[in-house]
Structure 1
């Protein structure tokens, strides 16, 4: 089969001679991938900021069709249309039972890769895999894109809002205008925020943020951004901030724009920041967040919202590629020519 692999910073390619994975464990399934995508977090190793092993398989978001099922899997069967989260929650450990399947104590971390391929082997499939009603061919192209966001970015954006305890009537600041930040705007609206201030310097992302429910755009950064938000909130600050970037500047700004007692929902993958906790202490600002519990959110909240047309997160995909165009897909995101790059692997 064909599969995306990492070569060196700035370079990915397709290996045409990768063996199709086999179901080895009783709680595994083999999935024929219909669509995958490039994640903003992939850019950290693509740009050489984070190390990655030469020849390692790429990708951690996909939708597809079940091809083979392990003997212990009863929740899906061959031919089912499924969402494959980047998390592999077991469903019964203490973390999963508490609603944090992104931190599953039995998750196979080595399996969180290889989704940018024609087939993927998925562990802990009996609980973590999410079945979509009907067949993929029953849905529109836009629907399929929205389902794909549920494998990561929409769930991660929702985790930012849930961690920040966004509630009805809140004023929320969203740090980051990538796919996760834009999905954070959707999530804040879903949870009833009255005012959503999106931090964005890019016109195409600003327009999508407004379409998703943002009420205000702030293009400034750092202290200028803080001053503007404080002026917009009459000196009080926001009720919640969603940190969807992962840099020190983003986290520092998020803490400073909050009112006393607010919470920063942090889902941006940390990159070398040195958090000044005194900012949090003197303002009584909380800091929560981490890896999203994808299956928990998707099954209970997000999949129903996509199915009934309440949300349309698939609009974050602004460029489309085939698997053999994987280099172009990464380049488009690296150059900010795409908000999120879609990889069409097989036809529905």
Structure 2
């Protein structure tokens, strides 16, 4: 299969790589429909994080389930799924408290910028849509893999509720996700703080609906 491999800061290549195989009965393998570049991918690309050896990259993804392990019950082959950037069982005390990224059995999902991806702890990590989405919806669903969840968590942690005034500091992908989350949670007034004039104009023009960029 084709996969994106980072060799060094500023050196990312699309190469042939082995197709992933399931290594546990709780795994699933998906055929990647869409993946994107997260801001944290850029830490390695820019040299903020060291790259000791060539490695796959990417952790924001949606796809079609190809195969599931014997213990997987929440998704099945053929379903369109949204996956989290951190694999979690969704059953441990941390997950039940709403901290899935701190799951006691958490595993980092990496290598999503490839044709196929092995997803650990599939029952807790993958969420299937009711039916295959229209193509134009896929970029929006892709944000749910990471960036939208980050913005939503921020709004929930800030206890935004009906009638609230929410202030969102920053107008990047996470900030815009926070704006959407605050609106969905019922905030009456949302103040988005930006240092970019063009973004401020866009926020003002689209105050009732936001088109999310990838993180």
Do these two structures clear the TM 0.5 threshold for a shared fold by scoring above it?
yes
Equivalence for 1:298: none
* TM-fit CA distance, 1:198: 1.4
Q: 1:173 to 1:148 in 2, by over 3 A?
A: same
Residue in structure 1 matched with residue 7 of structure 2 by the alignment: 7
Deviations 1:73-126 (A, max 9, x none): 1111111110011021102211011121111101123xx210111110000002
Would the aligned equivalents of 1:27 and 1:73 in 2 still touch at CA under 8 Å? yes
Between the aligned partners of 2:73 and 2:63, the Cα distance in structure 1 is: 18
Shift of 1:211: 5.4
Question: Counterparts of 1:129 and 1:5 in 2: how far apart (Å)?
Answer: 24
CA contact (8 A) 1:25 1:70 kept: yes
Q: Aligned pair in 2 of structure 1 residues 51, 209: CA closer, same or farther (>3 Å)? A: farther
TM-score normalised by L of structure 1: 0.58
Given that 1:81 and 1:135 are in contact with CA atoms closer than 8 Å, whether structure 2 keeps it comes out as yes
Segments of 5+ residues of structure 1 without an aligned counterpart are: 215-311, 318-339, 342-348
Moved more, 162-171 or 75-84: 162-171
Per the normalisation by structure 2, the TM-score is 0.92
Go from structure 1 to structure 2 and tell me whether the alpha carbon gap of 1:185 and 1:212 turns closer, same or farther (over 3 Å shift). Answer: farther
Does 2:160 correspond to 1:144? no
1:316 to 199, 203, 212: 212
* Equivalent residues, number: 215
Deviation at 1:212, TM superposition (A): 5.6
Unaligned runs of 5+ in 2: none
Q: Root-mean-square deviation (CA), in Å? A: 1.9
The match for 1:115 is 112
Corresponding position: 1:198 with 2:175: no
CA contact (8 A) 2:7 2:51 kept: no
Greater CA radius of gyration, 1 or 2? 1
Asked whether 1:127 is paired with 2:128, we answer no
Task: Name the SS of the counterpart of 1:65 in structure 2.
Answer: strand
1:135, CA displacement in angstroms? 2.0
CA drift at 1:134: 1.2
1:175 CA drift (Å): 1.6
Q: Does 2:63 match 1:69?
A: no
